[in-house]
Structure 1
Amino acid sequence: MKTPSRRWLLLVLLWTPFAWAAQPAATTLAKHPDGAAIASGHHLATEAGMEILAKGGNAFDAAVAVSSTLAVVEPISSGLGGGGFFLLHDASTGKDVMLDARETAPAAATPAAFLDKNGNLDRDRSVNGAWSAGIPGLPAALVELSAKHGKLPLQTSLAPAIRIARDGFPVYARMAKGYASRREVMERYPGTREVYLRNGKPIAEGDVFKQPELAQTLERLAAGGFDGFYKGQTGKLLLAGVKQAGGRWTAEELAGYRVKQREPIVFNYRDWKITTASPPSSGGIALASMLQILEGWDIKQMDAAHRTHLVVEAMRRAFRDRTFFLGDPDFVQIPQKVLTSKDYAQGLRATIHPEKATPSDLLSGNPTPLEDDETTHFSIIDGQGNRVGATQTVNLLYGSGLIPSGTGVLLNNEMDDFALKPGTPNAFGVMGYEANAPKPGKRMLSSMTPTFMESSDKVVVLGTPGGSRIITMVLLGVLGYDDGLDAQQVAALPRFHHQWLPDVIEAESNTFDEATIKQLQAMGHKIDLPGNSAAGGRGSSHVWGNLQTVEWNRASNQLSVGSDPRNPVGSGAVSNSP
């Protein structure tokens, strides 16, 4: 073999440094965002968060302001009488944590208490009035956020919500329309009538809606912290109002409520690290299962019908597992490591036919031993890189409809999220068994799925309301970011959903063209189009959800926001990034 000449060696040595010099310099990634971004379901809540940031607060202080303001301006969706999940990232430590502020079951709320004389589920009791309400968690979460994570006093962070409750805000169309649909129930209760009726007439679009009693409740919370809500005057008023409406709360279980700190679900999908909600949310486990099933295919290269088919089959299997395995981790043993593992996902993937739908009854198996558009979400990233993804709710439209007199606090109807009668669907058509049966102090299973995404150069926060559809909307959002869409494009994505039972694809208007519909039907899928429940679904709405997302591009150090265009109140997304 010939040895290289001296000339060739010299050329190599001379060429190499110049070749290196010709390569573009590695991109420098920003360590901190240049500004802050907030996306929420109402502009007043977003403005409240920005106000607190301007006063020197961090993302967690801003979260207190946004959350409490949403509790004032979106009573159809959330409030101090409800609960939620707060996914937090502390930039100084790099630690992620989830604050579980889910409501808890009162001791009196046994499954038998929700059955009628024939042994059937009493729907009125499960969704209306005092019996439908769990012990609220949101006020405790606000106190915890401020005390353990914030920089400002709780009084400062709650000030915008107090001001708006006292001075009022304009009633918007969805709020007035929602009241009209719940009027019969809400006007059963004197405390609710005091808030929502003006000279005997219900609120109307354009009215200035003032809530002086809610402002006073917020002031007591600001001054007294936890005890300012769960004990003292507010506690007494809540207990009296529940008792007057026929319910049975005790002072001990109200004062005994505690926020739980949970380890989030963390897994990888392609080039993304996903951090998301853990039980009693079902969303994180379902999201891990669905994405890791889909990771086995290059869905980006598929036509719309085949991509939808595989996504639906992943949804079907995740919701089947949700039904039988998931509940409050303090009460039931959840096989979380198995359900979130790539090996388990690979096994589920192997049961999917690439060209044919799997009938849901073939996946039924045996059970382990025996939320809707009225939720809200916000996403925040601050200038230090702290971030918050929070989803909060009172469950259905205007919750239970019950406001205990003197409080201004609209109570939730989250008891319907328990499996009150095993195998009987709740208001969202979702079933459950013993894992999600009510017990004293137990937290009902939820679909709320606040989520972080991180790649080599991007950080994303996203989430949405939508009941059982929350999980699949977040899934489609993750896939949208992976496809290279920007924040606003992700927020606007058309949506479809499958939850195992009923065995039907629900879809928004214009999600699928006629050719895709025909292909999916040829594969064996049933499709429930808007306004039509003949396929066995719920008669899909024309639109659903209210996704709120923020994105930090660390390469360009730009923050961008995406606020759902379906939101009738107008954009609640603001970035002050240059």
Structure 2
Amino acid sequence: MLLVLLALGVQAAGQPGRAAIASAHPAATVAGQETLARGGNAFDAAVAIAAALAVVEPYGSGLGGGGFFLLREAGERPTYRFLDARERAPLAAHPDLYRRDGEVQPALSLNGALAAAIPGLPAALVELAQRFGRLPLRDSLAPAIRLARDGVAIDRVYRERAGWRLAALRDDPESARIFLDEGEIPEELSLLRQPELARTLEHLARDGHDGFYAGDTAARLLSGVRAAGGIWSQRDLDDYRVVERQPLRVTLADERELISAPPPSAGGLALGQSLLLLQRLPWRQADAAQRSHFVVEALRRAYRDRGLLGDPDFVANPTAQLLAPAHLARLAASIDAERATPSSSLPPAGDWHEGDHTTHFTVLDAAGNAVAATLSINLPFGAAFTVPGTGVLLNDEMDDFAADVQGANAYGLAGSQANAIAAGKRPLSSMSPTFLESPHAFASFGTPGGSRIPSMVLLAILEYLDGQPIARWPAVPRYHHQFRPDVIEHEPGAFAPQQLAALAARGHRLKAVGRQYGNQQVLLWDKRDKRVEAASDPRGIGTAVTFP
């Protein structure tokens, strides 16, 4: 009996004993709590949260989109997995898909059915439930079905995002019918009801993968997309599968390990390089302006390198070489502590353009299983095209490819051959669901924000490494540098006047974004005292909870 009690004590010591959820919307957090209360684990809760977000945040994610799921399976030695549910280019796609009369037409990859890649989120929900969950898929999808059928209140974030995409939503009759009120932005607290989406979710709950990628739903998707000028085929739907990839793992100082997204995300590499570079620099001892200078110079080099990456099923990614000590030593040696390095003096490696809104959540169960997931349909409300009869708002992730590898996009970012359009290929992404684990603690990070995602996650991680309370991690003022354009973008008030002057004196160009951005969700399990905490970005309307 004594041996049994000792064994149970050792086992319990490796478990948090409490659960935590942080998501971008209160209804999604409640969906996760409800699922855990029904006996589900973190993976069941992830299904419930992701599906709920697909209903209540049509501007950020949806069944018509995709995403990345980073998993931690509890055990004496945790197992980490990465599920790539990124959208795939249709098999009829080609490098000149958006070129007309010799010129790339950007609007074609932003709005309408031709902009949509094959969705991955429905397949990911099925995969999570069947491989890792405890509950039937129908139980985990029940909260989302209820939200779609009964409605959810329109909030300030919905109204803001709808305002950004109002013209595109008006151009599609089905999107206008569902997401607008007689062509205008719905009033706050009015109800968004999506009965067609509820039926699509019911088909998914009943039939699993075939409930979306085959049968009646697939037939409606194909006829609707093709009638609107899209190029989807039944083979595209038949062939779609979630791909399990090895997470990017980087050993840091103090027994910590970074576990993050591998290609086709470039975000994990940018985080790993930036943290390893900062370890070579005295960032902890520096004053505020000097610290920001070091962070910017690390980001400048990491963003330069990540343009070499692409879908690993199509291109060979030099990830190991870019994280090699010799390469990092060269990068660190090129950083001048007193002067900004002009990006033009660094040889370009290529880059891409990416929409600036997605969604993120994180969940930890009492046994220590965890999920960090970043989901997207690219621009707010995706392609602003809803397939009639399905309630499925489609993504415009095809815009994440380099449509013109010889030129540059509106943001001044150069194209990259590694990220050129190809049939069945997954576009490069910045989405960076991330864990940081040591023998003493486990932390989870992630945010929406397009190309700014890695810099936001990096700033939150630095707050954690600096011993700041968890509420500070997602609240920290944000600034960003992505190699090109050669400018530090920053939120209003991110720098005090003396910091702005000090950075300008070092040769940095600064640009106030004019608004706050991002919506980070984080959690912490302190293993030494079994303390579990979670925090949601104060910029958004999300909620964070911990509970037995």
TM-score range, shorter chain: over 0.9
Match of 1:562 among 535, 539, 542: 535
Q: Which stretch shifts more, 187-196 or 413-422?
A: 187-196
Cα contact 1:189–1:245 (8 A) shared by 2: no
Counterpart residue number, 2:161: 178
Normalised by the length of structure 2, the TM-score is: 0.95
Whole-Å Cα distance in 1 between the matches of residues 427 and 71 of structure 2?
Answer: 22
- The number of residue pairs the alignment matches comes to 535
Counterpart residue number, 1:194: 177
User: Match of 1:389, as an amino acid?
Assistant: A
Match of 2:209 among 221, 226, 232: 226
Whole-Å Cα distance in 1 between the matches of residues 170 and 88 of structure 2?
Answer: 26
Q: Please tell me whether residue 572 in structure 1 is matched to residue 518 in structure 2.
A: no
Counterpart residue number, 1:303: 287
Match of 1:278 among 244, 255, 262: 262
Q: Please tell me whether residue 320 in structure 1 is matched to residue 304 in structure 2.
A: yes
Counterpart residue number, 1:105: 89
Cα contact 1:109–1:131 (8 A) shared by 2: no
Counterpart residue number, 2:6: none
What is the SS of the residue equivalent to 1:301? Answer: coil
Counterpart residue number, 1:543: 516
Cα contact 1:162–1:215 (8 A) shared by 2: yes
User: Match of 1:524, as an amino acid?
Assistant: G
Whole-Å Cα distance in 1 between the matches of residues 411 and 526 of structure 2?
Answer: 36
Cα contact 1:430–1:468 (8 A) shared by 2: no
Counterpart residue number, 1:419: 402
Q: How does 1:512-551 map to 2 (within 5 A)?
A: 512-529=495-512, 540-551=513-524
Cα contact 2:176–2:182 (8 A) shared by 1: no
What is the SS of the residue equivalent to 1:86? Answer: strand
CA drift at 1:198: 4.4
Given the superposition, is the C-alpha separation of residues 468 and 167 from structure 1 closer, same or farther in structure 2, using an over 3 Å criterion? Answer: same
Normalised by the length of structure 1, the TM-score is: 0.90
Q: How does 1:141-540 map to 2 (within 5 A)?
A: 141-198=124-181, 202-271=185-254, 272-323=256-307, 325-365=308-348, 371-426=354-409, 430-529=413-512, 540=513
Given the superposition, is the C-alpha separation of residues 177 and 30 from structure 1 closer, same or farther in structure 2, using an over 3 Å criterion? Answer: same
Whole-Å Cα distance in 2 between the matches of residues 230 and 572 of structure 1?
Answer: 33
Identity %: 48
Counterpart residue number, 1:9: none
CA drift at 1:423: 4.5
Whole-Å Cα distance in 2 between the matches of residues 315 and 414 of structure 1?
Answer: 24
Whole-Å Cα distance in 2 between the matches of residues 366 and 132 of structure 1?
Answer: 26
User: Match of 1:526, as an amino acid?
Assistant: R
Give 5+ residue unaligned stretches, structure 1.
1-26, 530-539
Whole-Å Cα distance in 2 between the matches of residues 451 and 428 of structure 1?
Answer: 26
Counterpart residue number, 1:77: 60
Whole-Å Cα distance in 2 between the matches of residues 351 and 214 of structure 1?
Answer: 53
What is the SS of the residue equivalent to 2:269? Answer: helix
Cα contact 1:31–1:554 (8 A) shared by 2: yes
Q: How does 1:48-127 map to 2 (within 5 A)?
A: 48-92=31-75, 94-117=78-101, 119-127=102-110
Whole-Å Cα distance in 1 between the matches of residues 283 and 46 of structure 2?
Answer: 36
User: Match of 1:555, as an amino acid?
Assistant: R
Whole-Å Cα distance in 2 between the matches of residues 366 and 44 of structure 1?
Answer: 42
User: Match of 1:263, as an amino acid?
Assistant: Q
Larger Rg: 1
Whole-Å Cα distance in 1 between the matches of residues 84 and 223 of structure 2?
Answer: 27
Give 5+ residue unaligned stretches, structure 2.
1-9
Q: Aligned-pair RMSD on alpha carbons?
A: 1.7
What is the SS of the residue equivalent to 2:104? Answer: coil
Cα contact 1:462–1:548 (8 A) shared by 2: yes
Whole-Å Cα distance in 2 between the matches of residues 564 and 366 of structure 1?
Answer: 33
Cα contact 1:372–1:428 (8 A) shared by 2: no
